[in-house]
Structure 1
């Protein structure tokens, strides 16, 4: 996903140099979406997950 963001930044720079204003707008929208997705991924990777393992039971010696 980071490669996509980096590619979009490069494409925006190229479009600005070439004067492709419509392309710049579309690429910037895509860049915002990519950055939002990266932020979501980052938040999820930092969340702690609690797993209920239940209570252990004592086994009798007579199994």
Structure 2
């Protein structure tokens, strides 16, 4: 997932450069917003890859009292 997000960021930066060259201010604003959301997603994905898993064990049937 992180590799795909990096590819998307690279593409967005290239699109932003073109928008600057073509002087498309509305496009630049939209791309900037998308880049912000993408970087938030990248940080979240990176954080989740470093999170340890929790072993919950095997489920057991409840006793007759419960």
Normalised to the residue count of structure 2, the TM-score between the two structures is: 0.74
Q: Say how many residue pairs are matched.
A: 54
Extract structure 1 runs of 4+ deviating beyond 6 A: none
The structure that has the greater radius of gyration is 1
**Other-structure match for 2:18:** 14
**Other-structure match for 2:27:** 23
Q: Which 5+ residue runs of structure 2 have no aligned equivalent?
A: 59-66
Normalised to the residue count of structure 1, the TM-score between the two structures is: 0.78
Supply the RMSD in Å over aligned alpha carbons: 1.2
Q: Which 5+ residue runs of structure 1 have no aligned equivalent?
A: 55-63
